Homo-oligomer: A and B are copies of this chain.
Amino acid sequence: MVQQRTERLEAGRTSRAVYVVGTEMVVDLHRSAPPGSKLFEIQCTPAVKYRITPSTKDPFPLPLKAGTSLIFTMDKASKDVNDNKVSVTYFGNKSEKLDKAILHLTALDISLDVDADRDGVIEKNNPNKGSWKWGPDGHGAILLVNCDAENYYKVPDSELDKISKRADLKDMSRMLLRTSGPAELPKGYKLTLHISKSTAENIGVFQERTAGIKISSISDYSPVLGRDKLCHIVEYKGGTSEVEFYVEGRRFPDEGFKGLVTINLSLLEPISKGFPEVPIFTDIVMFRVAPWIMTPNTLNPVEVFVCSTQDNFQFLKGMRSLTARTGYKLNTCFQYMNRGDRWMQDELEFGYIQAPHHGFPVVFDSPRDGDLKDFPYKELMGPDFGYVTRVSLTENVSSLDSFGNLEVSPPVTVNGREYPLGRILIGCAFPTATKGRNMTKVVQDFLWAQKVQEPIALFSDWLFVGHVDEFMSFVPAPDRKGFRLLLASPDAGYKVFRRLQKDGHGKAKMFEGMKEEISVDDILSNPQLQEANDFVQSCIDWNRDVLKRELGLEDADIIDLPILFNLMKDMRAVAYYPDMVNMIVLGKNLGIPKPYGPKVGGRCALEAEMCSLVEGLGLSCTFIDDFASYHKLLGEVHCGSNVRREPFAYKWWNMKL
């Protein structure tokens, strides 16, 4: 709708006004008429287009009635101040001229512009720039949280009220103020950028200091809006010109912040000395802060991370061999940084943020804060590598806050609803449990607030460590939905052992040559172990049903891996032998905990079963010995590694939410 503004005229007076191209000015002719007025006539300069309401085709002078209004517009900005004019002449009757009201006009063309059509280019005055809509036919500009560190202080750029390096500009969204008009604004008028108090917490806006000159130094940019800066007077340059701004996000969407921010540009009109100025025109642009996005196992790896400790040489050897063969970079976090904490999966989750103009990886630092806690902030965060964390001030952190308990599915379609970026998986206590461990609310709230990978609550509190990666994983597949869900299955495990027994291998040994050595027969004749695994299978089946429903899977999309569990004193479960589902997925290459199963003809029967289950999908299994340095400490290969992956080709703003 066209923005209308009420303008006043007064008989016997000459007044001045500024008109903004694209708006309509409305004058109540009756209100400004001298007493006794019965007729009126309008005259104006050619650039002024007008109409009278109620509309009439009669010639001037026209009868003046209560409600008679003059509505006028101009198509172009003025060259000079007051270069246009509207005048109203009032008559008592046709020959009795009573008085005249004159209005001098200065027309301005003002547009605050952003990349509302998301093509990386800032168009002129997009009609949708003030709102935001999801989808391929959507609109609305996008901001990145400037959470990488291009500065010398090694803190996230968004915490600084300055631009430290030229490179920092590319993390921001450009915004242009385009104006046309006379060389100077009429006296006392001002252009002002302004934001609400709540928006001020969420963004920062910088402006180039010098106009029209090629930027030579970063000191050309100064902060104009943000924390404690709600308003900024913008210099009017005159003629046809642009002022360039750079906008950064400072906060991710979260509980209480949907991610939408609005920036306003107002033209202020002076009234009189001592009176506040009146905003007579406001242009509005809206941005959405890009969400943090997780990357499932089906995306291509970029680099692999592990810890080096005093006792994990065997594991590192396996990982080095796997990554060397597959060609991915292996990054080792050394002891000075990890201080003996080997759980690379648990301390952090890799993700990314993306806008049409730019994007970069962002590490989400878990509130777990083990001895690895400095690694994400001190080692990972850097130029074009962002950082985010959530720490609760009131809740206790439990093992369920480790990010081995935070995974994401590949893209799925569920009952016709598309999740092109997959769905986040979080391990929790049963909703019916009166007590139990859960991921802290601040982390769950953050994950929900990103919106583009709607989370699913799984049940992981039945596990002693309590992480979803102890019973599930995803691997790529050439058919069906493009992936398979792997689930740990005690039933599948018992099936293997029973077959071995039936085939005459009851004396074959698990953990052969170790102090844990035990025969197939002995495993099958342990009723406590069977009972524990019945319980575990029920818990996993419960998750299986949730995953089928929430990811739209069929049984044929799921592969049961033969894994047995044991119970700790508190009745919570741990893997009985190295938990093969807790693997690292590097394209078609799987790095799997070496299960130390009973051997048949010199080959481990569990490895053989594992390979036979996935080799039809073109996947290659590498078994990595993590027994002493990970399995015995209640984790496995996946817990002890992390993978940064390529972002999705799919753009999140194309989702239909």
- Are A275 and B491 in touch, CB under 8 angstroms? no
- Are A491 and B277 in touch, CB under 8 angstroms? no
- Are A279 and B432 in touch, CB under 8 angstroms? yes
Confirm or deny: A230 has a beta carbon within 8 angstroms of a beta carbon on chain B.
Answer: yes
- Are B432 and A275 in touch, CB under 8 angstroms? no
Residues from 15 to 44 in A contacting B, C-beta threshold 8 Å: 26, 28, 31-36
- Are A430 and B26 in touch, CB under 8 angstroms? no
- Are B555 and A28 in touch, CB under 8 angstroms? yes
Contact of A230 among B35, B194, B434, B544 (CB under 8 A): B434
- Are B489 and A556 in touch, CB under 8 angstroms? no
Counting chain B CB atoms within 10 Å of each CB, the highest count among A4, A282, A499 belongs to A4
- Are B26 and A264 in touch, CB under 8 angstroms? no
Confirm or deny: A545 has a beta carbon within 8 angstroms of a beta carbon on chain B.
Answer: yes
**What separation, in Å, do the CA atoms of A272 and B533 have in the docked complex?**
11
**What separation, in Å, do the CA atoms of A432 and B6 have in the docked complex?**
19
Residues from 32 to 65 in A contacting B, C-beta threshold 8 Å: 32-36, 53
Confirm or deny: A196 has a beta carbon within 8 angstroms of a beta carbon on chain B.
Answer: yes
- Known interface pairs A4-B545, A32-B491, A555-B69; A538-B271 also in contact (CB < 8 Å): yes
| Shortest distance between the CB of A242 and any CB in chain B (Å) | 22
Confirm or deny: A8 has a beta carbon within 8 angstroms of a beta carbon on chain B.
Answer: yes
- Are B432 and A192 in touch, CB under 8 angstroms? yes
| Shortest distance between the CB of A309 and any CB in chain B (Å) | 34
**What separation, in Å, do the CA atoms of A28 and B556 have in the docked complex?**
11
**What separation, in Å, do the CA atoms of A26 and B196 have in the docked complex?**
55
| Shortest distance between the CB of A257 and any CB in chain B (Å) | 11
Q: Which chain B residues border A194 with CB–CB below 8 Å?
A: 431-432
Confirm or deny: A373 has a beta carbon within 8 angstroms of a beta carbon on chain B.
Answer: no
Contact of A431 among B4, B264, B503, B571 (CB under 8 A): B264
Confirm or deny: A495 has a beta carbon within 8 angstroms of a beta carbon on chain B.
Answer: yes
Q: Which chain B residues border A491 with CB–CB below 8 Å?
A: 8, 10, 31-32
Residues from 573 to 593 in A contacting B, C-beta threshold 8 Å: none
- Are B268 and A196 in touch, CB under 8 angstroms? no
Counting chain B CB atoms within 10 Å of each CB, the highest count among A26, A33, A436, A503 belongs to A26
Confirm or deny: A517 has a beta carbon within 8 angstroms of a beta carbon on chain B.
Answer: no
Closest B residue by C-beta to A282: B431
Confirm or deny: A352 has a beta carbon within 8 angstroms of a beta carbon on chain B.
Answer: no
- Are B431 and A275 in touch, CB under 8 angstroms? no
Confirm or deny: A541 has a beta carbon within 8 angstroms of a beta carbon on chain B.
Answer: yes
**What separation, in Å, do the CA atoms of A367 and B276 have in the docked complex?**
27
Contact of A31 among B436, B495, B535, B539 (CB under 8 A): B495
Confirm or deny: A313 has a beta carbon within 8 angstroms of a beta carbon on chain B.
Answer: no
Contact of A531 among B5, B28, B272, B535 (CB under 8 A): B272
Counting chain B CB atoms within 10 Å of each CB, the highest count among A28, A194, A415 belongs to A28
| Shortest distance between the CB of A524 and any CB in chain B (Å) | 12
- Are B272 and A430 in touch, CB under 8 angstroms? no
Confirm or deny: A357 has a beta carbon within 8 angstroms of a beta carbon on chain B.
Answer: no
**What separation, in Å, do the CA atoms of A275 and B4 have in the docked complex?**
69
Q: Which chain B residues border A415 with CB–CB below 8 Å?
A: 1
Contact of A560 among B31, B53, B492 (CB under 8 A): B31
- Are B230 and A556 in touch, CB under 8 angstroms? no
| Shortest distance between the CB of A236 and any CB in chain B (Å) | 16
Q: Which chain B residues border A541 with CB–CB below 8 Å?
A: 5-8
Counting chain B CB atoms within 10 Å of each CB, the highest count among A35, A282, A434, A498 belongs to A35
Contact of A196 among B3, B431, B539 (CB under 8 A): B431
Confirm or deny: A478 has a beta carbon within 8 angstroms of a beta carbon on chain B.
Answer: no
- Are A534 and B4 in touch, CB under 8 angstroms? no
Q: Which chain B residues border A178 with CB–CB below 8 Å?
A: none
- Are A8 and B231 in touch, CB under 8 angstroms? no
Confirm or deny: A549 has a beta carbon within 8 angstroms of a beta carbon on chain B.
Answer: yes
- Are B231 and A539 in touch, CB under 8 angstroms? no
Confirm or deny: A462 has a beta carbon within 8 angstroms of a beta carbon on chain B.
Answer: yes
- Are B279 and A430 in touch, CB under 8 angstroms? yes
**What separation, in Å, do the CA atoms of A431 and B462 have in the docked complex?**
53
- Are B67 and A431 in touch, CB under 8 angstroms? no
- Are B535 and A271 in touch, CB under 8 angstroms? yes
- Are A35 and B492 in touch, CB under 8 angstroms? no
Confirm or deny: A255 has a beta carbon within 8 angstroms of a beta carbon on chain B.
Answer: yes
Closest B residue by C-beta to A613: B66
Confirm or deny: A513 has a beta carbon within 8 angstroms of a beta carbon on chain B.
Answer: no
**What separation, in Å, do the CA atoms of A132 and B358 have in the docked complex?**
38
- Are B276 and A537 in touch, CB under 8 angstroms? no
Confirm or deny: A187 has a beta carbon within 8 angstroms of a beta carbon on chain B.
Answer: no
A-B contact pairs, 21 of them (CB 8 A): A4-B549, A6-B544, A7-B541, A8-B538, A8-B541, A10-B491, A31-B560, A35-B498, A35-B499, A35-B502, A53-B555, A67-B556, A192-B432, A194-B432, A264-B431, A266-B431, A271-B538, A276-B433, A276-B462, A278-B542, A279-B430
